[in-house]
Amino acid sequence: MKKILSTIVFSAILLLANDGFVTYEVNGQKYEGYMSSPSKNAPLVFLVHDWDGITDYEVKRAKMLNEMGYATFAVDLYGKGIRPEKLEDKKRLTNELYQDRAKMRELLFAGLEEAKKEGLNVNNAVGIGYCFGGAAILEFARAGVELKKFIPFHGGLQTPKGEDYSKTKGEIVVFHGTADKVVSMQDFASLAMQLEEAGIKHEMLTYSGAPHAFTVFGAKSYNENADKASWKRFSEILEDTF
C-alpha cells in the first residue's frame, strides 16, 4: 500500500514539474516561456503569444490543451519580465520584431530548441499563434521549420516583401474574423492565393461578425460563437494530425 501511495505521489510531483515557467537565454538575454505537458511524448503545440506577451490567456489555453492530452510550449519573444500593458509599449515591441524578421526567427527557433531540451516532443508538433503571434507563426512557416501545421488565430496575414512560402513544410490553417478591421479580408484572400500558388495545403476559415481578437476571453472583441467554432475545428485538426 505504501509503495502504491509513493508511486502516486511521485507521479503527481512529476506532472507538476512539467507545468510551469521556464527561463532560458538567447544571445545573453533571459527569456521566460511556459510549458505544460500531460505525459511523456505527448504531441506538442508550440504557441506564440499575443502582443502583450505570455499572460494568463496563454496559460489558460495551455491548460485547456493539457486536458485534451497535448503538451504546450509558449515561446517568449520579448524577454523575461517584459509584459507590456500600455498600448504604446505593445506597439513598440511588436514593431521592433516586425522590422527585424531575422531576430523574430532566431527567437522562434530558440524557443523550439528550449522545448526540445525540456523533453517535449518537437518531432510531433504543430505551431499556433494569437494576433501578433499569428503573424509570427506564419513567419516560422516561411522559415522552413519542421512543424506539421501552422495555425494563426486572428493573426497578421501579410507576407513581408522578399518573403514567400517556398520553404514551408507543413500545412497552414487560418482562423479569421470576417468583421476584422485590423487584418482585412483582402489580406485573407491574398494569403490563400499565395498558398495555392506555392502548392501549400491549407484551410482558410472565416467567421461572420467576428472582429479582430475574437478568441480573447473577457475582451470587448470576444465573440463566443467564433471562439467556440474555431476551437472545435482546431480540436478536430489536432486529432487528425496526431
Asked, for residue 62, whether it belongs to a domain, the answer is yes
Mean pLDDT of 217-223: 97
Q: Which residues pair with 46 in a beta bridge?
A: 73, 127
What is the count of structural domains for the chain?
1
Asked, for residue 5, whether it belongs to a domain, the answer is no
What tens digit of pLDDT does each residue of 88-126 get? 999 999 999 999 999 999 999 999 999 999 999 999 999
Confidence of residue 169 (pLDDT cuts 50, 70, 90): very high
Asked, for residue 112, whether it belongs to a domain, the answer is yes
Question: Range of 208's domain?
Answer: 22-241
- Residue pair 194/223 in contact by the 8 Å Cβ criterion: no
- Residue pair 97/104 in contact by the 8 Å Cβ criterion: yes
- Residue 111 maps to which CATH number? 3.40.50.1820
